[in-house]
Every structure is written in structure tokens, then in C-alpha cells.
């Protein structure tokens, strides 16, 4: 299994997901799983023009996700 970070390329409004971390066999499966539960953004997670899907290397120390929205 792989760990994928999916992050939106467009602006994020209220009541929307900005990013998701998904465990899946492939990036395609990760995108499908991300679309299972959406909010006001709708099922955009399979669209590569709207969402980046990166396979994370778990052998490297890193912060996986920080999500901050001021205001």
C-alpha cells in the first residue's frame, strides 16, 4: 500500500476539503476513495487539473499535512 497526499490547486472556500491523505494501492484508487466523501467542492478529486496526487515516501522524515486558514 502507498500513502498519497491529495491537495487542491484552486482556492478553497468554507465547508470544503482542502486536502486529503489516503492509503491506497494506486493514485487512481486514492483519487476514487477521496471522492467517496466530499463537501461543497463536489467530486473534484479525480480531476488532475484541480487536484495534485503525490505518493509520499515514508522513509523520509517530513510533515505530511499542515492546513491553516486564517480569518
Q: Which helix (H) or strand (E) holds 52?
A: strand 51-55
Quote the pTM value.
Answer: 0.85
Query: Which residues have C-beta within 8 Å of that of residue 66, sequence separation ≥ 6?
Result: none
| Structural domains counted in the chain | 1
Cα–Cα distance, 70 to 1 (Å, whole number): 34
Is 68 among the domain residues? Answer: no
Is 71 among the domain residues? Answer: no
**Cβ neighbourhood burial of 35 (10 Å; 0-12, 13-18, 19+):** middle
Is 60 among the domain residues? Answer: no
Is 37 among the domain residues? Answer: yes
Is 10 among the domain residues? Answer: yes
Is 12 among the domain residues? Answer: yes
Is 67 among the domain residues? Answer: no
Is 65 among the domain residues? Answer: no
Cα–Cα distance, 64 to 71 (Å, whole number): 23
Q: Which domain holds residue 30?
A: 2-55
Q: Say if residue 69's pLDDT is above 80.
A: no
Q: What is the pLDDT of residues 4-57, one digit of tens each?
A: 999 999 999 999 999 999 999 999 999 999 999 999 999 999 999 999 999 999
Amino acid at each position: 500500500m502507498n500513502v498519497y497526499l491529495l491537495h487542491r490547486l484552486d482556492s478553497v472556500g468554507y465547508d470544503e476539503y482542502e486536502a486529503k491523505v489516503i492509503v491506497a494501492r494506486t493514485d487512481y484508487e486514492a483519487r476514487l476513495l477521496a471522492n467517496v466523501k466530499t463537501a461543497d467542492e463536489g467530486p473534484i478529486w479525480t480531476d488532475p487539473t484541480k487536484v495534485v496526487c503525490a505518493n509520499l515516501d515514508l522513509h523520509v522524515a517530513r510533515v505530511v499535512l499542515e492546513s491553516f486558514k486564517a480569518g
